Structure 1
Amino acid sequence: RDRPPRFINVAGSILPAFALEDMTGQQHAFPEAERTVVCFIKEDCPTCNLVMPLLEAANSSTKAITLTAGQTAEGNATLIERHGLTMPLLDDSTLKVSFAYDVETVPLVVLADADGKELDRLVGFDRKEWSGFFDKHLSDTQIDWDDYPEWRPGCGSLTQDPVIADRLRAEAENSPLRARKIEIAPSDDVHEFMFDQGFSDGLPVVPPTPERVIRMLEGTSRDSQELVATMPPNMAPATIEKIAVNAVLAGCRPEYLPVVIAAIEAICTDEFNCHGVFATTMGASPVMIINGPIRERIGLNVRMSALGQGSRANATIGRAVRLAVRNIGGAEPGGTERSTLGSPMKFTMCFGEWEERSSWDPLHVERGFDKNDSVVTVFAMSSGPTLIVDQNSRSAPQLAGSFGLSMESAHHVRAHNGGDGILVVCPEHVDTLERDGYTKADIRRRIQEVTTVPLKDLVADDVSGAGIDPARAASMTDDMLNRPLPKFASEDNIHIVVAGSDAGKFSAAFHGWASGPMGSIPVSRKIEV
C-alpha cells in the first residue's frame, strides 16, 4: 500500500539508477559501465570494515567498475583514513539510494550489467560466497582468502531505523503524502506556530510531520488519496491523508485511525447533517459510541471514568474528528460555528459501551449489526453528560422512573417531542434493573410513561414563558389540551448503553439537538479493521 517502487531482490531485476558524489565532489552515475559492482556499507559495522580491503581490491579490477556508497559522510571519511582507501566512497548520507535499493543489511554487494540488470549479489560475509563471486566476476584480483573468517553477520542498514524509514517513505518519489508542506523557521516555536495558524482547538497539538503522518497511515490499508467524504461547511474533500494529519494533531495512535475514518464517514452523511450540527447556536456536537471487538484492541475505556479524562483512545479519537471538522471542513468558532455557549464536548466525546456487563443487546446490535462487528455510532448532542443520582431505588420501575424524571429536563421540562437522548447506565444500576428482568425496551417504555403529561401542562405561564404559546393553546379543544404527550417523540429516540465503574449508583444522560430530517439522525458505520 502506497509504498515507493522497489526492485524485487532476484537476479534479472532492473536496479534503480542513481548519481552520487564522492568525498571530492565528483559525481558517479549508475548504470554507465559494461559491468558495475554496487556496494552499500556503513562505518560502524564490523563486517563492513572487514570487507573494505576486498572492496578496494574490487575497485582495482578491470572486469567491472565498483561504486561503494557509505551511509554517512562522516563514516566515509573515517573509513578512508582507517583503511587507507584509494577508491572513492560515495555519499549516500540522505539514504535515498539505499532506500530505493531496499537495503536491509550491510554490506550489500550487487553486480549489474550495462542496462542495470542484476546479475549477482552478496549480503553480509560468507567466505565461500565472496571468493566464488570474485573468482567468477573479478578474476584479475589477488586475495588471500585464508586471512578472512568463514562467516560474519551483516549489520542493519540505517534505512531500517523506524524514524529514518518513515522520513524516507515520506520523501520518496511516489510517497503517499500529497498535502502541502509548511517550512517553519528554526527560530519559530512549532507549537506557537500551529496556534497562530488556527490548527488547534485551543489545546496543544502534535506537529504532523511527514514521518508521523506516514506512521499514522499504517493504521489503514486504504489508499491515502481515497476520498472519504465531502466535509461541510466548506464542502472540502476529506481524504484518508487529511484525516490522518488531523489524527496526528489530536495525538492518536495509528490503530485508532480506522475509527476516526468511520466516524467522519458517519458525520458527513446527509442524515447526520454536519453543517447544521456545527452551525446551530444551540451548541450541538458529535458524541461517538464505539461497539465491538475494536474496543479492546485499541484500549478504549468503557469502565471507570469512561466519559472523562485518562484514556488516550477515548480522548484523541473524538478530538481527531473535531479537529478534522475544523481544519478540513472549516467549522471554527466565530465563523460557521455559532454556538452561544459552546461545550466541553466540542473538544471530544468518545467512549465505548461495556457490552459484557449486561445481558442486553448492545447498541450496534440494536441498530442491525452483528455482535462481532466493530461499529461507531454518532449522535448530535447539545448537552451532557448530566448526572442521574439515584442511590435509593431498589426496584427497576423506581430506577427507570428516576431516569425519566431526570431526562425530562432536557432542553426544558416543557420541551417535548424534541431531540434524541442517550442514557448511559452504570453497572450498579444495571444490576438493579436486571434483577427485576428489565430490558432496554422496558427502560424506554418507563421513561416515556413517567414523562407523559397532558398538553395543557406544557403551556407557557407566569412561572415560565417557555412552552406552548398561550394564544395557540386558547384555540385548542379540551380533548387536544388533555392529550397525553411523552418527553420523546418515540421510544426509538432513547438510546441506552452501559458504561462506567462497578462502584457508584450514578448514571448519566446526554440531551440531543433537534431530531429527524429537520435536525440530525444518529448514524452508525462499520469500522474497517
Structure 2
Amino acid sequence: MPDSLLPRDGLVIVAKRDCPTCVLVEPVMQNLDRAGPLTVFSQDDPTFPSGVRSVVYDSELERSFHLRIEAVPTLIRFAGGQEIERAVGWDRAEWLRVAGEAATGDGLPAWQPGCGSKSVEPGVQEALIARYGETGLQSRAIALGHWDDPIEACFERGWSDGLPVVPPTDERILRMLGGTERKPDEIVGNIPPNLSPCTVEKVAINAVMAGCKPEYMPVVLGVLEAALDPLFTLHGLLCTTHFSGPLVIINGPVARSIGMNSGVNALGQGNRANATIGRALQLIVRNVGGGIPGAIDRATLGNPGKYSFCFAEDESDPAWEPLAQRRGIAAGRNAVTLFHGEGVHGFIDQKSRTPEELVRSLAMGLFGVGHPKLVRAGNAVLVLSPEHYRIFKDGGWSRRQIEDALYEALKRPGKDLAWGAQNVAEGIPPTHAEEMMDKFDPPPDGVLIVRAGGPAGLFSAIIGGWPGQRVREECQAVTREIRP
C-alpha cells in the first residue's frame, strides 16, 4: 500500500455510518481526535463521524483493502509507518490498551460487536483484489481498447459457441474460483482434441463465460473430470459425424442447493444452473481443447443439446434408487453421469395403466433408437416422467424390475432385423437370423433410467446414444462423484 495513504504515526479508525457500533463509539472517536493524532477512514459517508478533523472518505475501499479490514470499527495504532496493534469492534479494555485513557468511553457498554466491512461484502473483495492486489491468475490477459465492446471481442476471438458470453474479467474469475477449494493452478486434465492442459483457473474462466455462478464450480469440475475419463471417449465423440454430444445428469444434494431443475421443463430452457453447467463443458472443449465445429467437430447435423444438455434427477421419492446410486455411488453423495446423447425423442402413451403394458409400450419407442432394425449400436437414456413413473410405483415395481422387464421386452428375432427383412436394406447380418437379439446392453448400462419432469402429462423422453458405445470395452457412460 502506498505510504501516502496512511499516517506514519498515531491512530487510524476504519468505520461506516451504516454500523450501529460505529455510531455508538462516535463520542470515543471525537475524544481520541482531541488527544490526537487520529485519522478516520469512513467507508460510506464523508461526513461521518462528526467532530473529527481528519476524516478520509474511503469510497473506493482501497485503504480498507490494504489494511485487511474484515469488520468495523477497527482501531489501529501506527508508529514509524508500521502497524503496531489493532482492536476490532468495541471492546473497552482493548481500545484502552491500543489508544490509552482517551478511549474510556464513559457511559458505553463494555463490549459490542462490530459489523462487516464493506470491503468484504459479496463480490466486492474479488473486485478489490483485481484492482489493488495480486490476483495470482496465470492466464494471459487480453487488453482491449477503450471503445472496444468486450462481448464483441469474445466473438471476434472465437471464444463463443454462437451465443454471447460473459467477458471473463479478473474479478469475475476470482469470484468463480471462490466457489471451489481447489487451487487455481491445479491441472484437471488434458482437453482433447489438442490435449491442452486445463487448470482449475481455465475452468473458472470458461464457467464465467458460460454464465455460471461460483457455487456451480464443484459441479463443473466434476463434469469435466467425468468427461476426461478414458471410457467416455471424449475425443471420439468430438470427431464423430453423429448427432451426439455430452449429456450431463446430476444427482445428490448439490442439485437442490444450486437450484437445478428436475421438474417442469427439465430438459428445456429457463434454469440457469442446467443451462450454464452444460455450456461450460462445451466452452472448455472449444476454448482449451480446440474442439471447434467444422474443424475437429464433423457432425453431419449435430443437435441443439451441443450448446448445453444438462439436468438433475428428481430424487423426491425415497423409494426410488437414483441413477448415480444404481451406478455405484454411495447414497446421498453428489455425482455426475455423462452420456453420449443425441436429441430428445418424445414418447407418448396415455392409455397404458399397468407396468406390463407400459414396459411393452416403452420398448416399442426404444426400438427406434438409431434405427428399428439396428441392435447394440448405442444405448439410451429413458427420462421417466412423474405420471408414467406413478404407474410403475402403484404396481409396486422398483427401478431394477423396470430395467429387467425392459431388457426382456427389447429382445427381437434376428430374422426380423436382417438385411433386407421387411423390404428394408438396413439391419444386421443374416448370420444372426436364428438368434434372439438384444436392442441394448444389459442393465444397468443399456437403458439409463432417470426420473424427471413436470407432474402433468403422460409423456416421457428417449435420448439415443452414440454408436461408439457398441464397443463396450472402450466407450461407456461414466458416473463420477463430485468433489468440493
Q: Same fold (TM over 0.5)?
A: yes
Does the Cα contact within 8 Å between 2:244 and 2:343 map onto a contact in 1? no
Distance 1:164-1:460 versus aligned 2 partners, 3 A rule? same
Give the match for residue 58 of structure 1: 36
Distance 1:42 1:396 in 2: 68
What per-residue deviation string (whole Å, max 9, x for no partner) do you get for residues 281-303 of structure 1? 11321111111222221222111
The answer as to 2:68 corresponding to 1:102 is yes
| Aligned equivalent of 2:456, options 503, 506, 512 | 503
Map 1:352-363 onto structure 2 (within 5 A). Answer: 352-357=312-317, 359-363=319-323
Give the match for residue 432 of structure 1: 391
* SS of structure 2 residue aligned to 1:283: coil
Does the Cα contact within 8 Å between 2:3 and 2:81 map onto a contact in 1? no
| Aligned equivalent of 2:380, options 409, 421, 431 | 421
Distance 1:243 1:337 in 2: 21
Does the Cα contact within 8 Å between 1:352 and 1:499 map onto a contact in 2? yes
Give the match for residue 249 of structure 1: 209
Moved more, 261-270 or 326-335: 326-335
Moved more, 489-498 or 264-273: 489-498
Give the match for residue 426 of structure 2: 466
Map 1:82-121 onto structure 2 (within 5 A). Answer: 95-105=61-71, 108-112=74-78, 116=82, 118=84, 120-121=85-86
| Aligned equivalent of 2:308, options 334, 337, 348 | 348
Does the Cα contact within 8 Å between 2:10 and 2:79 map onto a contact in 1? no
Does the Cα contact within 8 Å between 1:37 and 1:109 map onto a contact in 2? no
Distance 1:19-1:55 versus aligned 2 partners, 3 A rule? farther
Distance 1:212 1:363 in 2: 34
Distance 2:476 2:124 in 1: 45
Distance 1:107-1:310 versus aligned 2 partners, 3 A rule? closer
Q: Which runs of 5+ in 2 are unaligned?
A: none
Q: Which runs of 5+ in 1 are unaligned?
A: 1-17, 23-27, 31-35, 60-65, 137-142
Normalized against structure 2, the TM-score is what? 0.85
Instruction: Compute the displacement of 1:387 (Å).
Output: 0.8
Instruction: Compute the displacement of 1:115 (Å).
Output: 9.2
Instruction: Compute the displacement of 1:333 (Å).
Output: 0.7
Give the match for residue 522 of structure 1: 477
Distance 1:39-1:343 versus aligned 2 partners, 3 A rule? same
The answer as to 2:364 corresponding to 1:405 is yes
Does the Cα contact within 8 Å between 1:420 and 1:493 map onto a contact in 2? yes
Distance 1:259-1:107 versus aligned 2 partners, 3 A rule? closer
Map 1:69-148 onto structure 2 (within 5 A). Answer: 70=41, 95-105=61-71, 108-112=74-78, 116=82, 118=84, 120-122=85-87
What per-residue deviation string (whole Å, max 9, x for no partner) do you get for residues 321-352 of structure 1? 11222122221111211111111110111112
Does the Cα contact within 8 Å between 2:304 and 2:343 map onto a contact in 1? no
| Aligned equivalent of 1:494, options 438, 442, 447 | 447
* SS of structure 2 residue aligned to 1:266: helix
Instruction: Compute the displacement of 1:355 (Å).
Output: 2.5
Q: Say how many residue pairs are matched.
A: 472
Distance 1:294 1:129 in 2: 43
The answer as to 2:172 corresponding to 1:212 is yes
Does the Cα contact within 8 Å between 1:300 and 1:314 map onto a contact in 2? yes
What per-residue deviation string (whole Å, max 9, x for no partner) do you get for residues 449-482 of structure 1? 343333333333394432346xxx4xx4xxx422
Does the Cα contact within 8 Å between 1:71 and 1:95 map onto a contact in 2? no
Give the match for residue 229 of structure 2: 269
Distance 1:170-1:84 versus aligned 2 partners, 3 A rule? closer
Distance 1:233 1:259 in 2: 23
Does the Cα contact within 8 Å between 1:400 and 1:447 map onto a contact in 2? yes
| Aligned equivalent of 1:39, options 12, 18, 27 | 12
Instruction: Compute the displacement of 1:423 (Å).
Output: 0.8
Percent identity among equivalent residues?
36
Distance 2:34 2:158 in 1: 56
* SS of structure 2 residue aligned to 1:430: helix
Instruction: Compute the displacement of 1:319 (Å).
Output: 1.4
Give the match for residue 282 of structure 2: 322
Instruction: Compute the displacement of 1:384 (Å).
Output: 2.6
Distance 1:84 1:375 in 2: 57
CA RMSD of aligned residues (A): 3.5
Distance 2:153 2:327 in 1: 44
Normalized against structure 1, the TM-score is what? 0.78
The one-letter code matched in structure 1 to 2:288 is I
Distance 1:202 1:107 in 2: 49
* SS of structure 2 residue aligned to 1:356: coil
Does the Cα contact within 8 Å between 2:278 and 2:309 map onto a contact in 1? yes
Distance 2:300 2:475 in 1: 19
What per-residue deviation string (whole Å, max 9, x for no partner) do you get for residues 55-95 of structure 1? 58634xxxxxx8x58578x95xx89xx9896x8x8897764
Give the match for residue 249 of structure 2: 289
Structure number with greater Rg is 1
* SS of structure 1 residue aligned to 2:263: coil
Does the Cα contact within 8 Å between 2:251 and 2:313 map onto a contact in 1? yes
* SS of structure 1 residue aligned to 2:231: coil
Distance 1:439 1:149 in 2: 72
Instruction: Compute the displacement of 1:520 (Å).
Output: 2.6
Distance 1:496-1:40 versus aligned 2 partners, 3 A rule? same
Moved more, 283-292 or 517-526: 517-526
What per-residue deviation string (whole Å, max 9, x for no partner) do you get for residues 479-501 of structure 1? x4221212114333111111112
The one-letter code matched in structure 2 to 1:58 is G
The one-letter code matched in structure 1 to 2:425 is G
Give the match for residue 387 of structure 1: 346
Moved more, 46-55 or 154-163: 46-55
Distance 1:117-1:486 versus aligned 2 partners, 3 A rule? same
Does the Cα contact within 8 Å between 2:414 and 2:437 map onto a contact in 1? yes
Give the match for residue 4 of structure 2: 21
